[in-house]
Chain A
Amino acid sequence: MFFKLAVRNVKRQFTNYLIYFMTVAFTVALLFAVNNVLYSDALLLLLNGESDLRTILTWMVALVGLVVAFVLSHATSFMLKLRRREFGTYLTLGMQRGDILRIFLFEALLICGAALGAGLVLSLFLYQGLLALVMRMTEAAYAFSGYSLQGLRITMVVVAGIFVMALLVSSGYLRKVSIHDLLHGEKKVEKAVRHPVCWACVMLAAVTVMAGCLVSLSGQIEALIRESRGSAGSLILVMGMFALALMLFHVALTKSVVFLLLRCRRFRIRGSRTFVLRQLSGSLSSNALMHGSLAFLLTFAVIWVNLSFIIKGGQAEMLERSYPYDATYCEDRFFEGREQENAIPLAECERRIEKYRAILKKIPYQLYTTGRRDLYEHTCWSKDVGYAGLVDLFMPAGDFNALIEPLGYEKVTLVDEYLIVSIDGRVGMTDFGSVTFAEAGKTYRFRGYTEEYPTFCQTYFFAVVPDEAAASMEKVLSFVAYDLEDGAYDGMALRKELTYPDVTGYGDRRETRQRSDFFLREYGRQLDNQTSAVIVAGALFVAAVFLLMALAILALKMLSDLMEDRRRYEVLFRLGADEREQGRALFGQTFFFFLLPFGSAMVMSIPTCMIGMRTVDALHMDGMAGSVPVIASVTASAMMGLYLMYYGAAYLVARRAVIR
């Protein structure tokens, strides 16, 4: 009998269940699609054994699954509240609470079952789309990929978990709610908020803390990039403070702005403004924490999506800085001073390279040393034990100019001077101004410091000196930069061909590692593509789920309060508010309720964009600076579009139910 009743209820309540159904279906589709990607053979091949990325993705799915379970379980309880009068009537007719729970369980089973089916069907296409996106980003050819049984199993487990959690929350509510509250709604006692001006000050303080956190975050990121200084602990602390301030901001906002507007008699006297403000004050203050949490999730999604696209967008520029030439040979970049038994001779390496691409130009260059630490002694890490063996490194200006001129840089001319070249921001903090060094009877003074050039050597820094200064120094590292014929080739395969087993260590500590003396730009590009594909796909997935959850919880919360609203709008109607006035009131009430958490996230796009611009500046990605605001705008617009679509649907449902 209960099952029959449940089926009838689901049919009758379909409009109310629509948003819940859509949310579960989309969530299932997203989860299954991502799980499929995660366990597909295509990704396995793509990641080339990079198990770290898969682990990150697995943890991300688990975290998202937890958030989804929590949010949807509350969404389910909103559905229950939406129909509390009906369940109250069942109780007055003599039904047990367990019976009602059973009916609700059957209904939830039917809805979740249908949503699971719809979600799985949707995900069949979504998965192929997601895979095509990942393949495109990694420049791999897209081919239809089969579906993973493991992915399906995990999705089913997550959905079952969501269902159980929803049931627990709903049964908790049903067990404690009184019949009176079910029939007449929980008595909401409206109270005038005391000291709204104080709350306004708290709100401003929260904004200040948030701004401080963002400034600190920006500074920490910059310090991390420029000086390799910073810790995960302080980043987490700042993010935690930011989250708390965001919550406090929402609580204070609901207790100040609305009440301050209510005090403004001229503002509230027009039309249904008093009504809207009072409706808002009730719904906002009772949902301030929920709003704060959603705002944090949405802000997180905005930041991550922006960051992932900045990483993706800046990839090409970073590649140019990390690999200025198509291939670079380094004789012994670790400066170990030992023979490499299995090393592939350079001629053989070149032959292997030519199998892939013709060598157009070779530029040999060297690094020399005096064996002293005239320059190192002044760096911040000169006293560190790990840097004890390091000595000054020098490159003759002739070699250096041969390297930089084909890249479009101006030739460097040095007369009794040296120029410090580095890619490590910490070196820039060293004051070399008064440091001189003597070589072959001549003294060389400091000409300047630069981070302008790309990475030519894997060293903290080196000094460019006139050729005659290097003539008497000991040669320690030999390089050859190769310019290859244009066109794509399999960098991974070439790298493999240039790799050999290298034995390191002594006695019992001897071990064999795979080593290559070449830095290949195409290999780096393919590797970057894989990483950025995972980051972008992951960010889009998390953002989509968080956005969906926020939209669902706001829409369902709004609809669950409709029972009370219907009665209030009926009074408005009787007092002479026409359909337009009622529509305006409902719009004001629902729009601000919906907009608030999203509004803060959208506002956060601005500091995110600013931090992004400072970050790319710190990374010397000048070409990327203009793209950061574009990325922020596109991300915000796309999210806003989705948000408005969902709000539109919820508003229309509410309007149909409330307005006469």
Chain B
Amino acid sequence: MREILRLTNVTKYYGRGSVVTKALDGISFGVREGEFAAIMGASGSGKSTLLNVIATIDRASSGDICIRGKHLSGMKEKELAAFRRDELGFIFQEYNLLDTLTIGENIMLPLNLKREALRKTEEELERVAAALGIKDQLGKFPWELSGGQRQRAACARALITAPALVLADEPTGALDSRNSRLLMETFAMMHEKLQATVLMVTHDPVVGSYAERVLFLKDGQIWSEVNRGGRTRKEMYQAILSATAALGGETDVF
């Protein structure tokens, strides 16, 4: 499988003069097409910064990010917006569905912004809504749905443009355990049936255990990596817990 995402020596600084924080410190890694990868780490480890930089919401201070063969560093604001619209899908912790739009309108919005034809837009809506089981909810407003349904709608919105990469920022953060499990099963389905490439940030080992590969971040650097290989989800969970314990063990100073 070819690589969809490649980061090479990416750094990100915040602040100026004497007060400078290094949020990302020479990060390099890649994500293959159709892969489901997760990034884990403690608070302040730089995982959200990393996601924002990949999502083109923030710019890296140095290094190179390449998504589907396109290098982000030289792009202008307008090009970045078009790139976000065409190549990336987003799933946020707070769903970020627009409360004024119906579920159907929310899902169609990226295609509207792309000025796709009505027929294609409606076909795509039908496809993703059917795949995510929210066909009956399209005419409702976000406040009329449960948290899980809302997050599935957010997934559908992320997938409707068939993006190169779906970025998920703590997608289960606002859900209870049952809905979290249902959502992760949706993610697994997105990955297996729709061949979506997913890069997810989470701090929850259970959620991380659904991924094929988990990268651990510490002080802005990739500290370690856990690959599923032939492991079951339970074994993957145990491996994540061990890695997390080791990560915490090194940090804690008594």
Contacts and interface: CB of A to CB of B under 8 A. Distances in A.
Contact of B100 (A187, A190, A270, A575): A190
A371 B45 CA distance: 113
Contacts of A268: 112
Interface in B114-134: 114-118, 121
Interface in B68-127: 77-78, 81-86, 88, 90, 92, 96, 98-102, 105, 108-110, 112-118, 121
B143 A187 contact: yes
Contacts, number: 92
Interface residues of B, number: 35
A44 to B, nearest CB: 58
A581 B113 contact: yes
B245 interface: no
Q: Give the most central of B83, B85, B109: most A CB within 10 Å.
A: B109
A189 B113 CA distance: 25
Contacts of B109: 272, 274-275, 572, 575
Interface string A267-308: 011111111001101100000000000000000000000000
B55 interface: yes
A574 interface: yes
A636 to B, nearest CB: 33
| Centre residue among A191, A273, A282, A578 by max chain B CB count within 10 A | A578
Given A190-B100, A568-B98, A270 B77 contact: no
A577 B85 contact: yes
Nearest to A274: B105
Nearest to B97: A571
B57 interface: yes
A590 to B, nearest CB: 15
A192 B105 CA distance: 13
B143 to A, nearest CB: 6
A580 B78 contact: yes
Interface residues of A, number: 32
B90 A272 contact: no
Contact of B81 (A269, A279, A579): A579
A260 B31 CA distance: 46
A576 interface: yes
Contacts of A576: 81-86, 88, 110, 113-114
A32 B84 CA distance: 55
B100 A278 contact: yes
Contacts of B114: 576
Contacts of A274: 101, 105, 108-109, 112
A67 B117 CA distance: 50
Contacts of B92: 574
Which among A190, A281, A580 has the greatest number of chain B C-beta atoms within 10 A?
Answer: A190
B108 A574 contact: no
Contact of B113 (A187, A266, A575): A575
Nearest to A273: B112
A191 B98 CA distance: 14
Contact of B143 (A189, A270, A573): A189
A188 interface: yes
A271 B157 CA distance: 15
A355 interface: no
A265 B111 CA distance: 13
B118 A574 contact: no
A272 B105 CA distance: 11
A278 B105 contact: yes
Contacts of B99: 188, 190, 568
Given A265-B118, A269-B121, A574-B55, A579 B78 contact: yes
B52 to A, nearest CB: 10
A278 B100 CA distance: 6
A538 B55 CA distance: 59
B91 to A, nearest CB: 11
A450 B77 CA distance: 76
A269 B112 contact: yes
Nearest to B158: A575
A187 B98 CA distance: 13
A279 B100 contact: yes
A573 B58 CA distance: 12
A575 B118 contact: no
A447 B109 CA distance: 79
Residue among B98, B101, B110, B118 facing the most chain A CB atoms (10 A cut-off): B98
Contacts of B101: 190, 274-275, 278
A571 B100 contact: no
Contacts of B117: 269
Interface string B134-165: 00000101010000000000000100000000
Given A574-B84, A576-B84, A577-B81, A269 B118 contact: yes
A278 B82 contact: no
B78 A568 contact: no
Given A269-B118, A278-B105, A576-B88, 17 more contacts: A190-B99, A191-B141, A269-B121, A270-B115, A272-B113, A274-B105, A274-B112, A275-B98, A568-B99, A573-B57, A574-B57, A575-B84, A575-B157, A576-B81, A576-B83, A578-B81, A581-B81
Please give me the 10 A-B residue pairs with the lowest Cβ-Cβ distance, nearest first.
A576-B85, A578-B81, A278-B100, A576-B84, A190-B141, A571-B96, A578-B78, A269-B118, A274-B105, A575-B110
23 contacts: A188-B100, A190-B143, A269-B112, A269-B116, A269-B121, A271-B112, A272-B109, A274-B105, A275-B100, A568-B99, A571-B96, A572-B109, A572-B113, A573-B57, A574-B57, A575-B85, A575-B90, A576-B83, A576-B84, A577-B81, A577-B113, A578-B82, A579-B77
